[in-house]
A and B are shown apart, each in its own frame.
Chain A
Amino acid sequence: MSRSFVTLKPGLQTCVQELPGRIGFLEQGFPLSGPFDSWSFRQANLLVGNDRDAAALECQFVGPTLKLDADCLVAVTGGDMRPTLDGSPIPMWTTVAAAAGQELALGAAMTGARAYIAISGGIATEPVLGSRAVFHQAGVGGRALVPGKVTPLGDATADRTVWTIPEESRPEFSRDKTWVVEALAGPNDDWLSPDTVQTFFSSDWRVQAKSSRTGIRLTGPEFAFSERATNKNADHGQDPSNIIDHGYPMGAVNLAGQTPIILVNDAPSTGGFINPFTVASAAFWKLAQAKPGEVLRFRRVDRDEAGVLRAALDMLTRPEVLQRA
């Protein structure tokens, strides 16, 4: 019999995600998608014996209720959504053995914004353009869970080892509603006045409620532009923040008029606004976990430091971090 789970309550845009995402179609406008907080996502997979990049669920703000149709291992990581199994609380960041017929329920996020549910065997939806990652808004690779939907699972090994992620290896969530986010200047920092570049790295930027997996919209000080932005060839467009259409890197702080929008997993791949700053990939998870109304402060790093941070995060999402519970 094939393994699966049924969605009883969907939560808020709960989607299947997978790494590395939908690679190779940016020029046709397909974003990478994939988990927003890949640190928590990978640790969830490791806890249930999956490849760290296997397809699992991303829950946003309010988690789902699922009825498991097979014996399996489950792990919940990320923001604290107070998971229960048949009504009894279960620990997060720990392997939990579940039996066929049991109900896994997540509530609203108490800390952070996104939680991950990995199930042994991984989720076995049909890949679209090479990936199971869901781009919900366009319905690529499927959409968010809906009540009654049956989601197939892959075959799991017989291993039933119970693991935990020690606290020092987990992402540390903000306790004061402020997140320090590592970011690089560029590629278009020379379109801003030098003072504005300084201001960006020394100001508080509040996350707007209009933020999503497409972009994190920020409220903060005004931007002032350099000569390059204000006195340019008309082909670039009229607004100082306009530029001839170009590629957008993941994590770009995209400036549309006076609103900075950090482009994340489901963001457009090209467009005609400047990207004066870029968030280091090792800090993407913080963008996933910052809630509306919370504050981002950007810490300037260079490419070398961004690489060191990325390598450190990679080490934290390998099987070596698991400890026997």
Chain B
Amino acid sequence: MAIHKAESPLPGLLYHKPEPDAQPFKAPGDAVALGDTLALIEVMKSFMPLEAETAGTFKGYLIDDGEHIDAGDHFCEIEG
């Protein structure tokens, strides 16, 4: 089993949840399918979904909810 670190193509603010009081998109142990939304990036007053490019098991976020992220930064780990 390899650990894949998902990378953000965009700089902005990372959100783990679709809305402030919603559950996170993924919790450790959740199954991840290709194309699943893992997080949102806020940039240019828009929210862009970051979708899974590998399937597997979600291990956790690497950047806190609402924190700044740079393009190329890893934001979560998926084991698969």
Contact = CB atoms under 8 A, between A and B. Distances in A.
Given A12-B48, A61-B10, A62-B10, A209 B43 contact: yes
Contact of B71 (A212, A213, A291): A291
Interface string A188-212: 0000000000000000000001111
Contact of A108 (B9, B46, B68): B9
A107 B44 CA distance: 17
Interface in B26-71: 42-46, 48, 68, 70-71
Contact of B44 (A12, A108, A109, A293): A12
Contacts of B13: 209, 292
Contact of B9 (A62, A213, A214, A293): A62
B11 A293 contact: yes
Contacts of A209: 11-13, 42-43, 68
A109 B45 contact: no
Contact of A60 (B44, B71, B72): B44
A210 B44 CA distance: 5
A110 interface: yes
Nearest to A109: B71
Contact of B10 (A12, A212, A213): A12
A281 interface: no
B5 to A, nearest CB: 16
Interface residues of A, number: 19
Given A209-B68, A292-B68, A293-B70, A61 B11 contact: yes
A119 B19 CA distance: 41
Contacts of A210: 42, 45
A212 B46 CA distance: 9
Given A108-B71, A110-B71, A209-B68, A292 B9 contact: no
A258 interface: no
Contacts of A12: 10, 43-44, 46, 48
A13 interface: yes
22 contacts: A12-B10, A12-B44, A61-B10, A62-B9, A108-B9, A109-B71, A113-B11, A209-B11, A209-B12, A209-B43, A212-B44, A213-B44, A214-B45, A291-B70, A291-B71, A292-B11, A292-B12, A292-B13, A292-B43, A293-B11, A293-B68, A293-B70
